[in-house]
Amino acid sequence: MNKSQIESEFRKLQDYICGELELLDGKTIFKEDAWTRDEGGGGFTRTVTDGNIIEKGGVAFSAVHGEVSDAMKSQLAMTDGDFFASGVSVVLHPKHPKHPIIHMNVRYFELDNGTYWFGGGIDLSPHYVDLRAARAFHLSLKKVCDKYNPEFYSKFKVWADTYFFLPHRNESRGVGGIFFDNQNENSRLSKIQLLNFCLDLGREFPVIYREQIEFKAYDTPTLEELKWQALRRGRYVEFNLLHDRGTKFGIYSSGRTESILMSMPPMANWEYNFTPEENSEEDKTLKFLNGKIKSFL
């Protein structure tokens, strides 16, 4: 299982996810934008807009290599040498406020000294928290995790709760999910098993999102709901630009800005000290997101 095989599997995964999301949406078609990196490698960024379901989304693939940079040394505690990194990232901003924002990422990293690790995760940010939908989401993640290691789900769930958190709001970004990094021999799985875990997660992604979309039938959104959606998108921006390690690392280390910021929402809003009406759906969501997320299972 060498790096070019991993790269090729990730590229196929991107293709698979895009195909499934086009079927789910029924209207929008991904556009592909190929780019190269001066220092080595490149990627294919695929984006959609104005779908039936997806208002703005992206499924990005990249495979880059070259010398370990200063930014990588300081951020990833790495030493001199050459690296290879490949991965697939997805962020979808749905049109309907009752549909959740979703994020998925799987990635592989290796150094020429032979060390390697996998990372990734899936997390869900509903504009309106629905506990039953959140439970279904976590059950699906647990099922994939349990196929590989019975400890993965509980470990990676806590990791997501800690990671997808906005300290300056004392708010969870959403209902969590799973997040993992630095997985290699230490996970008691072989390299190929870890790759398969990542690929399984990726292939499960469109199934999981379809389940969320089809969870309930919703009416045409009200103006109040659309306004709330724009405010929650503002929070998503805050997380990505202030706290998301991938985004910050990419931006500060001269990554490709447009591919990194593919995760940004359409039409995000900020309103000074917005406080929802007591006991409204918005208020319930805000109270639920306050502090760290508890178990759903």
> What tokens were used for 241?
């630009």
Residues 95, 51: contact at Cβ < 8 Å?
A: yes
Q: Which is nearer to a second copy, 28 or 187 (CB)?
A: 28
Q: Which is nearer to a second copy, 136 or 237 (CB)?
A: 237
**SS3 label, residue 58:** strand
Is 103 annotated in the active site?
yes
| Nearest-angstrom CA–CA distance, 108 and 83 | 11
Q: Which is nearer to a second copy, 114 or 167 (CB)?
A: 167
Residues 164, 153: contact at Cβ < 8 Å?
A: no
| Nearest-angstrom CA–CA distance, 97 and 225 | 6
| Nearest-angstrom CA–CA distance, 291 and 297 | 18
Which residues from 154-173 bind a second copy, rule CB under 8 A?
Answer: 167-169
**Residue from 44, 193, 237, 284 that binds a second copy (CB under 8 A)?**
237
CB of 264 to a second copy, least distance (A): 3
Q: Which is nearer to a second copy, 144 or 262 (CB)?
A: 262
Does 74 bind a second copy (CB under 8 A)? Our answer is no
∠ CA 96-101-105 to the nearest 5 degrees? 150
Question: Given 96, 99, 103, 138, which residue is catalytic?
Answer: 103
CB of 150 to a second copy, least distance (A): 37
Q: Which is nearer to a second copy, 81 or 266 (CB)?
A: 266
Does 234 bind a second copy (CB under 8 A)? Our answer is yes
Does 271 bind a second copy (CB under 8 A)? Our answer is yes
Residues 86, 1: contact at Cβ < 8 Å?
A: no
Does 58 bind a second copy (CB under 8 A)? Our answer is yes
**SS3 label, residue 261:** helix
Give the CA-trace dihedral at 144, 199, 56, 63, to 10 degrees: 150
> What tokens were used for 21?
């999301």
CB of 22 to a second copy, least distance (A): 17
Does 220 bind a second copy (CB under 8 A)? Our answer is no
Residues that bind a second copy (CB under 8 A): 33, 45, 47, 49, 56, 58, 167-169, 230, 234, 237-238, 241-242, 248, 251-252, 254, 257-258, 261-262, 264-273
